[in-house]
Structure 1
């Protein structure tokens, strides 16, 4: 890493249909109190809204300044391809990943750069600080920051600063990204976890700290949340097949819950009512957990919290269980061909 106190920083953003949040996200970057140079490189996917126009305005407004916004094309619209395009189009020794709907909190860049140096880390990151705007989004945010919703993942629920398997988004040394060949473009989802796994296997340190927070806007509907978590489960299964030995019990909880509920319902109807204890127990756990996690929410958000939790669990479990082996085989074959 550049050994000056404040090495120049490249912020990379893959965006697709982000007109709702893009300007605010970029402004949060430009407002960071960081003495070094900062550039923002936005990888533009084929958006159907006015994301491109907003990006063009940001480019014009910052042209010639020490905090310049630039854009690069990402024709596929896929996140890992956009990230790699932005990395290639950026210049500086520190690379900060931010999403188009992610809002950096004050001091984020300065704290991350300091910790990269102090911990001799390859990647530093913190908490996915979900905050909703609508009542539904607030319910989802509560689910996404609770143990009953996402298990013991520190980047969701917080915890002590320590080495970690992965972190939210991340602040990297460029040389580490170059050594790893960037993100694996075959991973439509779970690309962060997969990259961090490779970094750890190569001996690099992934450092988590609760001092770093990025405000995250949850999906705005049940359907959008279900698709998001189905994709998460689907691609986490691909990761476990691609990197043997990377699975842990947290990843198996949602498919186990889904199977238990399904078996209990079928057996309860066909064999004995006793089997209803499985889906009944799950429902009771969700309702009790919602009472605890719903404190401080409005009545409307509290009422929607069980729906958010069940949607996340069941969709993730369904995606994991139905993820075809052929998808993992395709990823393995494609990645091998790229390295030949």
Structure 2
């Protein structure tokens, strides 16, 4: 009897990337006895993506297009999940490239670990010089803060994992994705699993490569959104997924507070000391990253590091403001596409 694995793909306005992605996923080499279906939840694309998807689906019966009127990732995942027929569900992202045995390795990790969610390390690889700089910082411990999900050789339990692969029983036990969270819905779902007594597992044999943002503006906006939605996750569960998520916001608050306190007699040197210490740390981190990733990138790295930190920090403070004032839902502006 053939067993079915369903691939869930949220998508909106990806005309330039969707064809290569579909070819990638439809080439997956599955173990004997397994078959594949791919459900792309299109969020009412208006750039030609929807029409191209319909043509691709007409050419390959394994591909199905699902309507996602809410246009955000968690809603797309849930709409695809509702129509998926597989006993195993795998999430894929359009801006990621996958090893030919990606799904097979996911199935293997599920079988050997017995976990409720498995995935591979979050590897970033850039094509343009700016993307390569963004990827180099992304992969560095200076940004990751010790997150095991970015340790490429780590195998074992994690608090969250890139993308994910679940047996259907995981969703029956823990539910689907929270549609109130335009971002961080994957972290929240993994936190829900772990708090509920389940396990999230990383296997270094599951290989993929994520294409990061290609400009400082897009990177800043992306992490502004990630930071903004994190307090909503914390409010829901009464705890952060990890303390490292609090650090950028605390630094931005300290820096802004030291400036705001100047008219009230605070030491004039305090903002300069904080900014200088941060600049020195960023320069040291940039040199360390450039030594590993290539000296041609070094002059881009300080701006990339700052975009990551200040985007996330300012976003998280904005999110905390809305959470503490009792906002029932996040602001729509923090749910818009950032590419």
Alignment match, 2:335: none
- In the alignment, is the contact (CA less than 8 A) between 2:122 and 2:150 conserved in 1? yes
One of 79, 82, 85 as aligned partner of 1:91: 85
Alignment match, 1:102: 96
Provide TM-score, normalisation by structure 2: 0.89
Say whether residues 1:313 and 2:309 are aligned partners.
Answer: yes
Q: 1:283 to 1:264 in 2, by over 3 A?
A: farther
Q: 1:328 to 1:200 in 2, by over 3 A?
A: farther
Shift in Å, 1:328: 6.5
Matches within 5 A, 1:52-201: 52-63=50-61, 68-201=62-195
- In the alignment, is the contact (CA less than 8 A) between 1:262 and 1:279 conserved in 2? no
One of 20, 23, 27 as aligned partner of 2:23: 27
Could you tell me which runs of 5 or more consecutive residues in structure 1 were left unpaired when the two chains were aligned: 333-340
- In the alignment, is the contact (CA less than 8 A) between 1:264 and 1:279 conserved in 2? no
Shift in Å, 1:179: 2.7
Q: 1:109 to 1:156 in 2, by over 3 A?
A: same
Say whether residues 1:222 and 2:216 are aligned partners.
Answer: yes
- In the alignment, is the contact (CA less than 8 A) between 1:127 and 1:158 conserved in 2? yes
- In the alignment, is the contact (CA less than 8 A) between 2:149 and 2:158 conserved in 1? no
Question: What RMSD over aligned residues (CA atoms) do the two structures have, in Å?
Answer: 2.2
User: Which range moves more in the overlay, 309-318 or 124-133?
Assistant: 124-133
Q: 1:296 to 1:119 in 2, by over 3 A?
A: closer
User: Which range moves more in the overlay, 105-114 or 255-264?
Assistant: 255-264
Alignment match, 1:46: 44
Provide TM-score, normalisation by structure 1: 0.88
- CA-to-aligned-CA distance 1:121-179 (integer Å, 9 cap, x gap): 11101222111121111111111111112211122233521111110110001121133
- CA-to-aligned-CA distance 1:187-211 (integer Å, 9 cap, x gap): 1111001111112222221111222
One of 201, 205, 218 as aligned partner of 1:207: 201
Could you tell me which runs of 5 or more consecutive residues in structure 2 were left unpaired when the two chains were aligned: 331-339
Shift in Å, 1:266: 6.0
- In the alignment, is the contact (CA less than 8 A) between 1:261 and 1:282 conserved in 2? no
Alignment match, 1:286: 282
Shift in Å, 1:262: 3.2
1:128 and 1:178 map into 2 onto residues whose CA distance is 26
- In the alignment, is the contact (CA less than 8 A) between 1:12 and 1:86 conserved in 2? yes
1:329 and 1:241 map into 2 onto residues whose CA distance is 11
Moved over 4 A (4+): 263-270, 296-300, 326-329
Q: 1:72 to 1:277 in 2, by over 3 A?
A: same
2:254 and 2:284 map into 1 onto residues whose CA distance is 19
Q: 1:260 to 1:279 in 2, by over 3 A?
A: farther
Q: Paired residues, what number?
A: 324
Q: 1:81 to 1:115 in 2, by over 3 A?
A: same
- In the alignment, is the contact (CA less than 8 A) between 1:238 and 1:327 conserved in 2? no
Q: 1:300 to 1:76 in 2, by over 3 A?
A: farther
2:38 and 2:53 map into 1 onto residues whose CA distance is 11
- In the alignment, is the contact (CA less than 8 A) between 1:146 and 1:157 conserved in 2? no
Shift in Å, 1:57: 2.3
